[in-house]
Amino acid sequence: MDPTTLAIIFIICYLLGAISFSRIAHKKLSGEGEIGPVDVKVAGTDHTYSFNSTGASTMGMLHGDRVGCLVGIMDMLKVFLPTLVVRLLYPGQPYFLYAAIAGMVGHIWPVFYRFRGGRGYSSIYGGLMAIEPVGAILCSMTGLLVGIFILKDFAIAYLGGLWLIIPYLWFSTHDVHFLIYAIIVNILFLIVLAPDIRKAYKFRNQVDTNIRKDMAEWPMGRGILKLCDKLGIEIK
């Protein structure tokens, strides 16, 4: 790889990733330019904790699941499209993998908004859909099924697909650049998600909760519950 080309691609994709569709939507719907922390209720308790993110999940909490879903799609596209373009412009070169990383970094730490962004879930899958769409879907579905129906832990259902991407990309490509990509996006995601995981699990051993209650607290979880209810699949 040419270092200059890589640097230019990284900067451009970072700046595109730094576009905050959450803030654009929030401004249009509420008239407010910035998104403040959201208080999240701990299932089965009167406790709440502050969720300090500006991504699609926050928009779902503030403005409803449809708005959150739309913002999530836009966050995916802002990484998917640049990654795909780079892949087409430089066939056989790993630039596109680093383009996907740059888009995620821009989403998490946007220079336009004092480096306060979202957690990066949608941006990761946006990049993955341009890198390995079959693997993205397969790993995501496997993680969800294992987390919800076998281990009954929504955190594992949420994260499991991303963990599975590491062995999937390695064994399907045996390319070190794919492995580096998979490891980096997982590390970045865990870094920004760690405070929320600690807060969510703080009261876990003090309450009577279950997988359904946990899922109902999050836009993504509610969407899965609605789909399962329509299909007659019981989650409890």
Predicted confidence band of residue 211 (pLDDT cuts 50, 70, 90)? confident
Q: What is the pLDDT of residue 32?
A: 79
For residues 219-230, average pLDDT: 72
Q: Does residue 99 carry a pLDDT above 70?
A: yes
Q: What is the pTM of this model?
A: 0.87
Predicted confidence band of residue 68 (pLDDT cuts 50, 70, 90)? confident
Mean pLDDT of the chain: 86
Please give the Cα distance from 30 to 197 (Å, whole number). 29
| Residue 236 placed within a domain | no
Domain count, the chain: 1
| Residue 134 placed within a domain | yes
CA 188 to chain centre: 11
Q: What is the pLDDT of residue 145?
A: 87
Please give the Cα distance from 208 to 73 (Å, whole number). 34
For 7-57, write each residue's pLDDT tens digit. 999 999 999 999 999 999 988 888 877 787 777 666 556 667 677 778 887
Least confident of 62-76, 130-144, 222-236: 222-236
Q: Does residue 229 carry a pLDDT above 80?
A: no
Domain that holds residue 11: 3-231
| Residue 194 placed within a domain | yes
Q: What is the pLDDT of residue 151?
A: 83
| Residue 202 placed within a domain | yes
In angstroms, the Cα distances linking 168 to 94, 98, 181 are 17, 18, 12
Residue 159 vs residue 228, higher pLDDT = 159
Report whether 83 contacts 127 (CB < 8 A): yes
Q: Could you tell me the two tokens for 122? A: 């949608």
| Residue 165 placed within a domain | yes
| Residue 45 placed within a domain | yes
β 38-41/48-51 pair status: antiparallel
Predicted confidence band of residue 81 (pLDDT cuts 50, 70, 90)? very high
Q: Does residue 142 carry a pLDDT above 80?
A: yes
User: Beta-carbon neighbour count of residue 139 at 10 Å?
Assistant: 24
Q: Quick one: which H or E segment has residue 156?
A: helix 154-173
Q: What is the pLDDT of residue 45?
A: 62
| Residue 86 placed within a domain | yes
For 146-204, write each residue's pLDDT tens digit. 988 888 887 888 889 999 999 999 999 999 999 999 999 999 999 998 877 776 666 66
Type of residue found at 81: L
